[in-house]
């Protein structure tokens, strides 16, 4: 993953828990990078090691770490680094999900070696959909859950989401129910 991902984990921790907790997480994770370069590619294992260490140091589940990180990504990292892209994504949550493939195409211009996920949206009604998340990476289901919740906050809408089925069931994707 690009360094921006690890820098965002650092931002989540330092903003909410302080610099000392981040230093402890680095130590516990065994990651020997004091600084992450936004545009440099790092092994995915580093990101997962940081999430596991954050869970241990902060005393919360890895699931809760990844959900919080997903929300932080939308509400802080994406606004800071992709603000104009976020704004062109749509004026409503529904419009944003419709335009999600275009968003990732534009992000690929900034990060040419990115391996973006793919999303398939099926609308069930005016305020309900099924969202399929396809990725080459495993272990990010809770992160996507957090992204969905973060998008709800970004659009000032209360969102309910849960995993319907997914990789744990042998599928090549995770499928979420999303209601607002």
Give per-residue pLDDT as tens, 154-164. 999 999 999 99
| Summary mean pLDDT of the chain | 94
Q: Give the per-residue pLDDT at 116.
A: 87
- Say if residue 82's pLDDT is above 90: no
Q: 113 pLDDT band (50/70/90 cuts)?
A: confident
First to last CA, the chain: 31
Output the DSSP codes for 77-122. IIHHHHHHHHHHT-SSHHHHHHTHHHHHHHHHHHSTT----EEEEE
Q: Where are the domains of the chain?
A: 3-60, 85-179
Closest CA to 150 of 85, 98, 74, 63: 74
Q: Are 82 and 150 in contact (CB under 8 A)?
A: no
- Say if residue 87's pLDDT is above 90: no
Q: Is the dihedral of CA 33, 68, 168, 113 positive or negative?
A: negative
CATH homologous superfamily of 85-179 equals: H-NOX domain (3.90.1520.10)
Residue 169 CA: distances (Å) to CA of 159, 163, 172, 174, 177: 24, 11, 9, 9, 16
Q: Give the per-residue pLDDT at 111.
A: 83
* % of the chain with per-residue pLDDT over 70: 100
Q: 68 pLDDT band (50/70/90 cuts)?
A: very high
Q: 102 pLDDT band (50/70/90 cuts)?
A: confident
Q: In this structure, what DSSP letter does residue 30 have?
A: T
The residue-averaged pLDDT of 141-157 equals 98
Distance CA 91, CA 87 (A): 8
């Amino acid at each position: 993953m690009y360094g921006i991902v690890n820098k965002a984990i650092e931002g989540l921790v330092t903003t909410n828990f302080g610099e000392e907790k981040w230093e402890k997480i680095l130590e516990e994770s065994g990651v020997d990078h004091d600084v992450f370069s936004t545009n440099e590619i790092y092994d995915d294992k580093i990101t997962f090691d940081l999430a596991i260490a954050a869970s241990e140091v902060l005393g919360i589940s890895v699931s809760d770490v990844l959900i919080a990180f997903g929300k932080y990504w939308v509400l802080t990292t994406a606004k800071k680094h992709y603000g104009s892209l976020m704004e062109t994504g749509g004026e409503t949550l529904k419009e944003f999900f419709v335009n999600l493939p275009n968003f990732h195409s534009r992000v690929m211009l900034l990060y040419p070696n990115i391996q973006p996920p793919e999303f398939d949206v099926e609308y069930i009604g005016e305020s309900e959909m099924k969202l399929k998340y396809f990725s080459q990476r495993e272990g990010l289901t809770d992160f996507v859950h957090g992204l969905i919740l973060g998008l709800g906050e970004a659009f000032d809408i209360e969102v309910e989401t849960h995993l319907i089925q997914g990789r744990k069931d042998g599928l090549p994707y995770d499928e979420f129910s999303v209601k607002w």
